[in-house]
Amino acid sequence: MTTEVNSSDRVWPKTGLWAASYRVMFPLAALWAALCVALWQWQANLDLPFDLSLGWHIHEMTFGFAGAALAGYLLTACPSWTGRAPPSGWPLRVLAGLWLTTRLGLLVDLSPLTAATSLAFFWGIAALLAYEAHKGGKHWRAGFLFFCLAAGLGSALWITALHTATLPAWAPYLPVLGFALLLIVVGGQLVPAFLSRAAIRRNEIPREEPLWLAPIALGALLMAAMGLFAARTDVAAGFLRLTALLLMARMAFWSLRSAFHDPLLAILTLGYLWLPLGLYLWGASLNGSGPLSEPQAIHALIMGAMGGLILAVSARSIAKRTPDGLRPRRGTLIAFALIWLATCARMFDALDSAAALWCTGWTLYALLYLPAVTRPVPRPVFSGARNT
């Protein structure tokens, strides 16, 4: 039996809920993932005092759910390139307040104020990242700053369009493609890095991935986006499938055997697997050559890849730290399995079952965070000790 100890010889000095962004933003993301879907799926039975549109649902599952997870991840991971402690205290309270105010505003009062709070949330993330990079005097991550600025602007424009009933038909593609792009960049670095580190611990030599695969995959996704916005579904279909094949080619070079020895690596890899699978199914749906409709394929991408990777990455922040590395908390694998089953159910339009599985999985996962907020913040948060 493995004894739980802190596998890192260092922790950050602060404790409590506001000691690091992951402690508040990941639970908020999980709870909102459950509540948002429950409100959307069963609104007819809930006698709600407000109407929920498809535009609201899309915005809240991307800018809302994924936006909270984005803040939780970036502001917790930034010490790896700044060398400073993660942001804590009142800046996190402000961000959480802006996020919560936006969620409430979108339910009860679509107004320019709600657009402003959403803009301030994402731009606040960017400002904190820039401040930490400046104070650390080390490496900047301009891509993350640009993404947060673009997400804030996109969210504000989306809310304004909902308020004026002028949301264009192509708008739903923007957040889906944007977060797919982010997953390719972040997941494409994080997943193989963890797999390779585990392989080295087992005295295996990781394979080198060709450097040209990642930029070509990103280029193919951008070409697919251009095809979608130009209403050239034939072009978009081809490039979406090409992106998927390039991502699968990348995975072929990863140390995938490591996932068989580590449950946390397994769910991380399985979460990433939905990215090429969802993109391929989406491409196939556009020209009618696939088994799924376009909404079904997009849900496979959002629920499987975005939901699965958010859970798998965030699970590392509260994992048990043992002499043999990180081990999942009891219930983590069950929550991940429920998300997987929910994704499969949604692909075949079992809507009530998919919603029930999804909500149960994320509620269970949120409960796993309750004991974690009082412990010291490990250093690093998302991995064990560097020398193990």
Which residues, in sequence order, are CB contacts of 30 under 8 Å at separation 6+?
A: 311, 314, 362, 363, 365, 366, 369
Residues 127, 139 within the same domain: yes
Residues 179, 126 within the same domain: no
Q: From residue 368, how far is each of 26, 43, 269, 328 by CA, in Å? A: 11, 27, 21, 10
Residues 207, 106 within the same domain: no
Residues 84, 180 within the same domain: no
User: Domain for residue 32, yes or no?
Assistant: yes
Q: How far apart are CA 103 and CA 28, in angstroms?
A: 11
User: Domain for residue 1, yes or no?
Assistant: no
The four Cα atoms 213, 216, 217, 221 give a dihedral, to 10 degrees, of: 180
Residues 32, 154 within the same domain: yes
Residues 56, 164 within the same domain: yes
Q: How far apart are CA 292 and CA 354, in angstroms?
A: 16
The pLDDT of residue 350 is 97
Residues 23, 139 within the same domain: yes
The pLDDT of residue 48 is 77
The pLDDT of residue 51 is 81
Residues in the chain predicted with pLDDT less than 70, given as ranges, are 1-9, 138-139, 384-388
Q: How far apart are CA 134 and CA 140, in angstroms?
A: 8
User: Domain for residue 115, yes or no?
Assistant: yes
Q: How many domains does the chain have?
A: 2
**Residue 227 lies in domain:** 172-318+330-367
Q: From residue 250, how far is each of 206, 207, 272, 275, 279 by CA, in Å? A: 13, 11, 11, 12, 15
Residues 167, 177 within the same domain: no
The pLDDT of residue 289 is 84
User: Domain for residue 187, yes or no?
Assistant: yes
Q: How far apart are CA 79 and CA 75, in angstroms?
A: 8
Q: Report pTM.
A: 0.93
The pLDDT of residue 141 is 80
Q: How far apart are CA 219 and CA 3, in angstroms?
A: 46
Residue 317: which of 8, 31, 105, 34 has the closest Cα?
Answer: 8
